[in-house]
Amino acid sequence: MNKSIILTVTFTLSGVLFSAQTSDKQAPQGFDVENPTISHGKIDTVQYVSKTVGTTRKALIYTPPGFKKGNKYPVLYLLHGIGGDEKEWFNQGKPNVILDNLYAQGKLQPMIVVLPNGRAMKNDRATGNIMAPDKVEAFTTFEKDLLNDLIPFVEKKYPVKKDRESRALAGLSMGGGQTQNFAFGNMDKFAWLGSFSSAPNTKDPDKLLPNPQDALKLKLIFISCGDADGLMPLSKRTSDYLKKNKIPHIFYIEPGGHDFKVWKNDLYIFSQLLFKPIDKSQFSNFTVLGKPEATNIRNAQYPKILPDERVMFKIKAPEAQKVQIDLGKKAALKKESDSFWIGTTDPQSGSFHYYSNRYSF
């Protein structure tokens, strides 16, 4: 027999909590729109000899506005996803536009950005079956290509700082998995880690960090994912392991799925933290874009308010067949596990709200 239970609750819509290390809680409108009135960095295509692969390989290199060969710069190595190549970020993510705009606002430490091809094989184009075993294996091979061929090339051809604290690694999806695998595995080479929506190539946390305390060597661990991304468990798995072992890190959940809307926002936020003094005590402020709002249920961790005024709900209802939230407009929650239902509403206005949960059994 089907039956429903309705529970009425209130919450107060208020501001979100975010770290003082950057005043931005989410990229503002126009952050990825080219501004012709400001100075621009330069994108070059370079070729380097890869002894690892046995061929000449390509990468894109972004030098910042006002670049001078007499200066020394830190370097961000920015990796693409499984369906991309060295041009994927440039074609879809507009990193040069995002960074140019941030430089114009005085929000970035000057840096060089290297966009390589993370598929380290002789035919490294994203054509045919991109999931073929040899192509997937090439993403693992790229670790040697990066460390032994690309980084030495960059450090020979460009005026860069060569210490680990001047070297960052970040990437999206497959590149996010590479970032965790390579940066945690080579903490003598990298001090800044940015993993955006990491893919199934990400190693299990106990394989990444058999001695978790080693991760304290890193200046920044930034793990992010869209709240509607089906790969969220992979990012959460690493974050949970770090949290369990008391390793300070940022776990940044944002509105969106597995796409460049999310990854452009990640680059916007992550780049502002790089190569600057870091206050790790503030990392917890990033954990979710939003904070538990005042409700008439004591110590409730949900709902949470996102920067765009949407409301995230998570409800424990193991025996329910269907769960709905009613805020004047009904929104169905999705079952996340055996016990929990999760979902996000449309943007809400005003400050004080009644809502009801409808459970169908």
Q: 252 and 341 share a domain?
A: no
Classify residue 295 by its DSSP letter. Answer: B
In a domain, 19, yes or no: no
- Asked whether residue 77 falls in the same domain as residue 160, the answer is yes
Asked, for residue 23, whether it belongs to a domain, the answer is no
Give the number of domains in the chain. 2
**pLDDT at residue 11, as a whole number:** 46
Residues 178 and 259 in one domain: yes
What is the per-residue pLDDT for 181? 98
- b/e per residue 256-293 (b: at least 16 CB within 10 A): bebebebbbbbbbbbbbbbbeebeeeebebbbbbbeeb
What per-residue confidence (pLDDT) applies to 161? 99
For residues 117 and 58, is the Cβ–Cβ distance under 8 A?
yes
* Domain enclosing residue 352, as ranges: 4-14+299-360
CA trace torsion 53, 153, 189, 220 (10° rounding): -110
Q: Are residues 254 and 230 in the same domain?
A: yes
Q: Flag whether 35 is in a domain.
A: no
Structure tokens at 155: 């450090």
The answer to whether residues 331 and 267 belong to one domain is no
CATH number of the domain bearing residue 278: 3.40.50.1820
Q: Mark whether 226 and 191 lie in a shared domain.
A: yes
Q: What is the pLDDT of residue 314?
A: 81
210 and 72 within one domain: yes
Same domain, 204 and 318: no
Among 286, 313, 348, give the residue marking a domain's end. 286
Q: Please, are residues 264 and 170 in contact by the beta-carbon 8 Å criterion?
A: no
User: What's the confidence (pLDDT) of residue 303?
Assistant: 77
Residue 293 belongs to a domain: no
Q: Look at residue 28 and tell me if it is in a domain.
A: no
The radius of gyration of the chain's CA atoms, rounded to the nearest angstrom, is 22
- Same domain flag for 256 and 332: no
Question: pTM for the complete prediction?
Answer: 0.78
Residue 6 has what pLDDT? 52
Classify residue 205 by its DSSP letter.
Answer: H
Same domain, 81 and 142: yes
Looking at the domain assignment, is residue 139 inside a domain? yes
| Average pLDDT, consecutive stretches of 10 residues, N- to C-terminus, the chain (361 residues) | 50 40 75 98 99 98 98 99 98 98 98 98 92 95 99 99 99 98 99 98 98 98 95 96 96 94 97 95 66 49 65 81 80 77 74 57 57
In a domain, 83, yes or no: yes
Q: Do residues 256 and 108 share a domain?
A: yes
Whether 329 maps to a domain, the answer reads yes
